[in-house]
Structure 1
Amino acid sequence: MLEMKTWRTLATALALIAAPLAFAQSTPDKAMRIIAAGPPGGTLDVVARLLAEGLQRELDRSVIVEAKPGGGGAVAVNDLMQAPRDGNTMVVTLDALVSEIPHIIKLRYDMAKEVKPIAELARGGLVLVGNPSLPARNLPELITYVKANPGKVSYASYSAGTVSHVMGLQLNKAAGIDMSHVAYKGTPPALVDVMGGHVPLMFAGIPNAVPLVKSGKIVPYAVSLPQRSPNLPNVPTFTELGYPQLEALAWVGLWLTPDVPAAAQNRLREAAMKVMAQPAMRDRLTEFGLAPGQPRTPDELTKSLHADYERIGAVLKAIDFKPE
């Protein structure tokens, strides 16, 4: 019951963040629409609403946000495919849409061809966390403990085939340990089970983990970022601890279909980059556990997606992973 209360409190807090950012819809032919590929109050919804708030001022247009979770972003993309290709409808979702999800789910669309990232809005990483009952307070102690208990320690992921799963496989190989994997359908139920001691470890998104770390409900061991997280300044990076192969970033992007006119793509990219670069916006992202996005070009983003797709695919192929 305590764990569920914690998640109700977290959900309420996220809803309060998102609530002031709702926008009144004006006439449909003048409104722009952002489809957030996640649940209301979640990370993608919050980033989408922050962007919408800024675009409304920057472009002097009404902007509405619709949360459409499901299928790792596939539900949101399906909606995008049905919309006019004029740049007035866009999707906010994670890079996993192209780099991870096609390995996990048999999709209707070839995401690498059907959608195009035009701007990186925010980025974040994962943190390895554990139940406080574990007799380890840092990563070296944890690895020693797992080695002393072969086959007895498991870790959760928010879905099989995602970076949350792959990082455990990489740590197994790098540290010479044998943690077993337990897949969940989403982060909240996985973290509830970590807090309850049903599964001892998890690679969790930093925004989801921070409130629970600060309340002492879970223990952090290392973050996957290149530098320490401002939200967890006392938690070292995997690279600091000698595991650079576990450095991993996820980023939230603004996506269109490639056939949207180039002028509309450029206008949206320019406006989005301007909005997300504002100091107040960067501060709000940091408070939420995210870092500001980098000014990479669409071509640079696309190349990074291809590289990540190949890297993750190689790890999953080694364990003979098959999509659902």
Structure 2
Amino acid sequence: MKTSSALFLRLAVGALALASSCLAHAWPDRPVKLIVPAPAGGNMDVTARIYATSLSREIGQPVVVENKAGAGGSIGVQAMLNAPADGHTILFTSSNVLSEIPYVFKPPYDPMNDVRPVAALARYRFVLVVAPDYPANDMAGLAAQLKVSPDQGNFASPSPGTLSQLGGEMLNRRFGVNMQHVPFSGTPPALLAVMSRQVTMYLDSVVTSAPFVRGGKLKPLGVAGTSRFPGLPQVPTFAEQGYPEFTDFTGFQGIVVSPKMPAADVDKLYAVTRRIASRPQFTDQVSQLGFEPVMPTSPQEFAQQLQAHYTSFGALIRTMNLKP
């Protein structure tokens, strides 16, 4: 009898300990911080805030967006990695922060191994914009203008090592000119520089440029993709104008976490994010901004997408001979 009682007591204590352990590691059990490695107002920030609102509604906890711009996004990534890996600090990022910028702006971490991709949520493509009074209306006109003074033009980027920089360097080669690269700390200052004619052009996401195009503050010369962008149907694609090398100038946004985050919590975060991605309220808002909504399939597929982007971009970097 004593043996049975002792066994029962041990089982009860074990069950209680297991329950306490589960409660201690419940996710989420307090507010979640969503780090955005870019300034407020840029295309990464606007989507992150839509996601944060949706995430808060799904998990019943406040989700606080914290912008940590600088160093090509590595400040934000490092802030996420330095936080406790319990799922209460996650990173909303564009693919360029992990798969492009690290080639020319060396971060203190391995972008392919020191973060854990969870889910892609939105895809975007690029448009080449100039000031409204710039004397060119298409790519042929741009080439003609730049060749008049091959050393006078310049192009903006939101950071060194982005597709914006790579595109500018590709145009230098294609046109046989020597435009200067002018990096900024994010998209908003780069756009202002184009509008004020401080820089000649900017290869930017349609998400942030399209509203200024429709408002008459920017002029578009070409858009990436295999078909015209529905939000700017009057703008021909680069391929239509004889520049097929810009067709795949696209990127995507999503969430990543610390690789030390418990797998069970990663699964919970992924499941919640997939539910968010299926909500018309989320997809409609994302579409209205100019993104193409993405339904996450698995963290593994997102990791594969990032790796493929990282590999192909590295090949382009080596071809262009861009240095850190």
Q: Distance in 2 between matches of 1:189 and 1:52?
A: 24
Q: Mapping of 1:112-127 within 5 angstroms?
A: 112-127=112-127
Q: Following TM superposition, by how much is the alpha carbon of 1:149 offset from its aligned partner in structure 2, in angstroms?
A: 4.7
Identity of matched residues, %: 36
Q: Following TM superposition, by how much is the alpha carbon of 1:152 offset from its aligned partner in structure 2, in angstroms?
A: 4.0
Q: Distance in 2 between matches of 1:259 and 1:284?
A: 32
Q: Following TM superposition, by how much is the alpha carbon of 1:128 offset from its aligned partner in structure 2, in angstroms?
A: 0.5
Alignment CA distance shift 1:160-1:121 (3 Å): same
Given the alignment of the two structures, is residue 264 of structure 1 paired with residue 288 of structure 2, yes or no?
no
1:69 paired residue number: 69
Q: Which deviations, in whole Å up to 9, do the C-alpha atoms of 1:197-248 show, x marking residues without a partner?
A: 2322221222221232122222101112343323222212223333232121
Q: Distance in 1 between matches of 2:212 and 2:46?
A: 19
Q: Distance in 2 between matches of 1:63 and 1:148?
A: 52
Q: Distance in 2 between matches of 1:149 and 1:159?
A: 26
Q: Distance in 2 between matches of 1:29 and 1:277?
A: 24
1:11 paired residue number: none
1:249 paired residue number: 250
2:181 paired residue number: 182
2:290 paired residue number: 289
Alignment CA distance shift 1:266-1:153 (3 Å): same
1:210 paired residue number: 210
Amino acid at match of 2:277: M
Q: Following TM superposition, by how much is the alpha carbon of 1:192 offset from its aligned partner in structure 2, in angstroms?
A: 2.5
User: CA contact under 8 A between 2:37 and 2:69: conserved in structure 1?
Assistant: yes
Q: Following TM superposition, by how much is the alpha carbon of 1:255 offset from its aligned partner in structure 2, in angstroms?
A: 0.5
2:228 paired residue number: 228
Q: Following TM superposition, by how much is the alpha carbon of 1:127 offset from its aligned partner in structure 2, in angstroms?
A: 0.8
User: CA contact under 8 A between 2:157 and 2:183: conserved in structure 1?
Assistant: yes
Q: Which stretch shows the higher mean deviation, 95-104 or 220-229?
A: 220-229
User: CA contact under 8 A between 2:34 and 2:63: conserved in structure 1?
Assistant: yes
| DSSP 3-state at the match of 2:230 | coil
Q: Mapping of 1:86-101 within 5 angstroms?
A: 86-101=86-101
User: CA contact under 8 A between 2:105 and 2:160: conserved in structure 1?
Assistant: no
Given the alignment of the two structures, is residue 133 of structure 1 paired with residue 158 of structure 2, yes or no?
no
User: CA contact under 8 A between 1:168 and 1:179: conserved in structure 2?
Assistant: no
Alignment CA distance shift 1:143-1:288 (3 Å): same
Higher CA-based Rg: 2
| DSSP 3-state at the match of 2:55 | helix
Alignment CA distance shift 1:297-1:177 (3 Å): farther
| DSSP 3-state at the match of 2:33 | strand
Alignment CA distance shift 1:287-1:149 (3 Å): same
Given the alignment of the two structures, is residue 317 of structure 1 paired with residue 318 of structure 2, yes or no?
yes
Alignment CA distance shift 1:279-1:240 (3 Å): farther
Q: Mapping of 1:36-51 within 5 angstroms?
A: 36-51=36-51
2:52 paired residue number: 52
Q: Distance in 2 between matches of 1:49 and 1:156?
A: 25
CA RMSD of aligned residues (A): 2.4
Amino acid at match of 2:208: N
Alignment CA distance shift 1:86-1:189 (3 Å): closer
User: CA contact under 8 A between 1:230 and 1:286: conserved in structure 2?
Assistant: no
| DSSP 3-state at the match of 1:96 | helix
User: CA contact under 8 A between 1:129 and 1:201: conserved in structure 2?
Assistant: yes
User: CA contact under 8 A between 2:43 and 2:205: conserved in structure 1?
Assistant: no
| DSSP 3-state at the match of 2:267 | helix
Q: Distance in 1 between matches of 2:241 and 2:116?
A: 36
Q: Following TM superposition, by how much is the alpha carbon of 1:64 offset from its aligned partner in structure 2, in angstroms?
A: 2.6
| DSSP 3-state at the match of 1:125 | strand
Alignment CA distance shift 1:216-1:41 (3 Å): closer
Q: Following TM superposition, by how much is the alpha carbon of 1:95 offset from its aligned partner in structure 2, in angstroms?
A: 0.8
Give ranges in structure 1 of 5+ residues lacking alignment. 1-27
2:280 paired residue number: 279
Amino acid at match of 1:191: L
Q: Distance in 1 between matches of 2:313 and 2:322?
A: 11
| DSSP 3-state at the match of 1:127 | strand
| DSSP 3-state at the match of 1:221 | strand
Q: What count of residue pairs does the alignment treat as equivalent?
A: 295
